[in-house]
Amino acid sequence: MTTAIKEFEVEESLDHFQAGSYSPYLFFSSEEWAHFRADTPLTLTLDEVHRLRSLDDPIDLAEVRRIYLSLSRLLSAHVESSQLLSKQRNRFLSTNVEKTPFIIGIAGSVAVGKSTTARILKELLARWPSSPKVDLVTTDGFLYPNAELIRENRLHRKGFPESYNTGSLLRFLSAIKAGQPNVKAPLYSHLTYDVLPDEHRIIDRPDILIFEGINVLQSRDLPRDGKIVPMVSDFFDFSIYIDADETLIHNWYVKRFMKLRQTAFRDPNSYFHRYASISETEALTIAEGLWANINLINLRENILPTRPRADLILRKGENHLIEQVALRKL
């Protein structure tokens, strides 16, 4: 058997593993997934959805019904099961440890709609009959300040794994998972494109924490000596990856950049203010360069490889709406 034939058979078997009977996921069309909402009530109004969605995200009440009500019901089951397991463990260990926050990680490329998903879920989960306390934190605040990235010649790598203060990320999640009160989460300004020095918000023992960022499912090399080396995702109870074809994400990114020239970039305090006054042709060239030289590389090298680590994958189509849902088998 030639090497070429062997390689073909390996590739074919891997494709079968991803989509066939050996896949660790169950796959559903958006219509199939919508049936799982059962009697879950719609607690959001159209005005609220418009307020929660990001620029150019077309999500509406129909999409909330199709996708997010079923997801809310699924997460409710996971949270209840987690709380039950916590009580059983207390009995087993003869301890009285209070329940710890249920942490949901949301990952995916820039411009794919992570922020909208996170905000919609936060509102839906907080409106369960039990009225849980739900907080949302993004990883932007854990980026190194621009001054430090410039000093290390890494500003062009902003958003890559090495641009985050991993130690600070892990300490934050560890404190949250330990049930500590009044944990500080650093803040970030998309206007100034930088961490806000000495500014933070307080996260005080939520029932549920949604933790959103492009690289939250990132893994790392395992130590040869077997020492414990935690990863951010080690603290997650459930993880979601927002997925789409690379070409679509590219188009969404460029379209968003061009629209921001007419909105946020016009603010004189905006880090990107200089792009508001250049010609459309120049702006398009810059947007394409930022995509090709930074965001596409990050997607291929760091973000997309984490997709198989998610518990749930929401696959978007050309209209920016969910077309397929993949749920990891238990």
pLDDT over threshold 90, residue 14: no
Give the per-residue pLDDT at 45: 94
Residue corresponding to tokens 């929660």 = 52
- Measure Cα distances from 185 to 138, 140, 161 in Å: 9, 10, 19
d(CA 233, CA 103): 10
What average pLDDT does this structure show over 37-65?
92
Give the per-residue pLDDT at 321: 95
Band of residue 229 on the pLDDT scale cut at 50, 70, 90: confident
Q: Within the chain, how many helices (H) and strands (E) appear? A: 11, 9
d(CA 140, CA 159): 8
Give the per-residue pLDDT at 223: 80
Give the per-residue pLDDT at 237: 97
- Which helix (H) or strand (E) element contains residue 298? helix 296-298
Ranking 196-205, 223-232, 249-258, 277-286 by mean pLDDT, the lowest is 223-232
Cβ atoms of 194 and 188 within 8 Å: the answer is yes
Per CATH, domain 25-328 is 3.40.50.300: yes
- Is there a binding annotation on residue 310? no
Going by their DSSP bridges, the two strands 238-243 and 312-316 should be labelled as parallel
Band of residue 3 on the pLDDT scale cut at 50, 70, 90: very low
- Is there a binding annotation on residue 283? no
- Is there a binding annotation on residue 229? no
d(CA 235, CA 174): 7
- Is there a binding annotation on residue 21? no
Q: What angle do CA 260, 264, 270 make, to 5 degrees?
A: 120
- Which helix (H) or strand (E) element contains residue 62? helix 61-63
- Which helix (H) or strand (E) element contains residue 281? helix 280-290
- Measure Cα distances from 95 to 13, 98, 176, 206 in Å: 48, 9, 20, 21
- Is there a binding annotation on residue 111? yes
pLDDT over threshold 60, residue 254: yes
Give the per-residue pLDDT at 12: 40
Give the per-residue pLDDT at 99: 78
- Is there a binding annotation on residue 122? no
- Is there a binding annotation on residue 130? no
pTM: 0.92
Give the per-residue pLDDT at 11: 38
- Is there a binding annotation on residue 109? yes
Cβ atoms of 173 and 100 within 8 Å: the answer is no
Residue corresponding to tokens 């699924």 = 74
Strand residue runs (E) in the chain: 25-29, 102-108, 134-138, 183-189, 194-203, 208-212, 238-243, 312-316, 322-328
What tens digit of pLDDT does each residue of 108-147 get?
A: 999 999 999 999 999 999 999 999 999 999 999 999 999 9
Give the per-residue pLDDT at 2: 40
